[in-house]
Structures are given as structure tokens and as C-alpha cells.
Amino acid sequence: MYKTHISGCTLEKKNLLRLQMALRSLATRKTLTLALNSTRLAQSRALQTFSLPDLPYDYGALEPAISGEIMQLHHQKHHQTYITNYNKALEQLHDAIQKGDSSTVVKLQSAIKFNGGGHINHSIFWKNLAPIREGGGEPPHGSLGWAIDTNFGSLESLIQKMNAEGAALQGSGWVWLGLDKELKKLVVETTANQDPLVTNGPNLVPLLGIDVWEHAYYLQYKNVRPDYLKNVWKVINWKYASEVYEKESA
């Protein structure tokens, strides 16, 4: 009887030990699964991708100022290429950070700035345009109109200044009407290549940007950039610029 009792106790202890080990193993697997899922979720959240925004008008809606062929190529090909390369660079950056590859992180900065800037700038540009039948070319009113008169003398003077600076820009880039939030005044700036306006100063907010890359006008205006700059004002969406100004100057 004594030996049987000892054997029974030993068996119970062994079973209890096995149960404890099984529970620990299960808990470990659950913890590991939760950790892996959390990591994957964090990675998926961190790795945002960007897509081509829809235009609020048809490609041919800005004619004759800007041809439908230019608008389609500009939007579907050029802007899409910036987005594709931007997403690719961000994915490579994400992988490099995960691996602690500082050299690759540094190397990717120029691609991110160029392609990310191309996406930012073009997303603004499409909103800065509107068909004539939808108010394109109508002069700004309200507080933005008053600010333009205060800072530049008149809308005509502002247009002349932006046209002159856009025509004189060497190579490719953008000419901007911006709000300097620190100085509380309007400014005209140019940026090279696809640099966003904010690269000229952290307090600058873009109200209106005009693309002076050749792909924005060459099929229609050839190498005569001033003609493009003269005609693009016929489809400028001052209503959008006014809305941004109202929001940012409040």
C-alpha cells in the first residue's frame, strides 16, 4: 500500500509538471504570436504608400490654355512616376532602418526629396487649376485679393512678377505665391527641380504653384515658356488659393 501511494503521488507530480510546462509553452507561443502580429501591424502602419490623386476635371477641360494631351501625360505619366519612385524609396528606407543600415538611409534622402517633392508639388498644382466655366481665371476677392494689393500693388503686378521669375528660372522648377506665416505677408519664390516651397523656409505655405518643367508645356508651347506662363493664368483657381490663405492666415 505504501509503495502504491508513493507511486501515485509521483505520477500526480509528473502530470502536474507536464501540465505546467504545457501551459508555459502555450503562453510562450501566444506571446510570440501576439508579438509577431504587433510587429507586422506596426510595420504595415509605418510603411504608408501613396497613390495618384484624381483630377477634379477632365484632361481637356483646361483647353486652350493647356491641352488635354499635356494634362493626360503630365498626370498619368509624370506624376505617377514620382509616386512610384517615392513609394519605392520609402520601402527601401523602411528596410534600411530595420537593418540599421545608416549608409543606405543617407543615400535614399535625395530620392525621397525629389520624388516626394514631385508628388507634393503636383498634388497642389492640380488644385491650382480650374476650367474657365468653373471659375478658372477669375481674380481673387476678399482677404487674399486685399493681401495681393497690399504686398504687390495689384494682381497684374503679381502676375508680371511671377511670370518674370518663372521665365528666368534656370533649368526646371516651380514658381510660387506663398504665405510667410512668420512675417504675415505674401511672397513670390522659386524652387529648383521638385523642391517643395517649404525647403525655402519652414514658415512658407504654398497658395499657388506653377510648374515650369518642360513637360508642363513643351508639347504645346515648344521652348517658349513665357507664352505658357502668360496663358496659364486663364485657368488659375484663385478660389482654392483663397481658401488656403483664409485657413493659414487665421
Q: Is residue 26 part of a domain?
A: no
Alpha-carbon distance of 90 to 96, in angstroms, equals 10
Q: Is 94 annotated as a binding residue?
A: no
Alpha-carbon distance values, 235 to 63, 110, 209, 214, 249 (Å): 9, 33, 13, 18, 24
Whether 189 and 213 share a structural domain: yes
Neighbours of 33 (CB within 10 A): 10
Q: Is residue 41 part of a domain?
A: no
Count of structural domains, the chain: 2
Q: Is 78 annotated as a binding residue?
A: no
Alpha-carbon distance of 250 to 248, in angstroms, equals 6
Whether 167 and 224 share a structural domain: yes
Whether 165 and 202 share a structural domain: yes
DSSP state of 74: I
CATH of the domain at 124: 1.10.287.990
pLDDT reported for residue 35: 42
Q: Is 101 annotated as a binding residue?
A: no
**Residue 95 CB partners (closer than 8 Å, separation 6+):** 101
Q: Is 215 annotated as a binding residue?
A: yes
Q: Whole domain around residue 108: which residue ranges?
A: 68-130
Whether 162 and 176 share a structural domain: yes
* Residue 99 CA, distance from chain mean position: 26
pLDDT one-digit tens code per residue, 187-228: 999 999 999 999 999 999 999 999 999 999 999 999 999 999
Q: Is residue 235 part of a domain?
A: yes
Would the pTM of this model clear 0.85, i.e. be above it?
Answer: no
The last residue of a domain, from among 130, 153, 173: 130
pLDDT reported for residue 39: 42
Whether 148 and 234 share a structural domain: yes
In the predicted model, residues of the chain with pLDDT beneath 50 are 1-6, 31-32, 35-36, 38-40, 42, 44
pLDDT reported for residue 147: 98
pLDDT one-digit tens code per residue, 121-142: 999 999 999 999 999 999 999 9
CATH of the domain at 187: 3.55.40.20
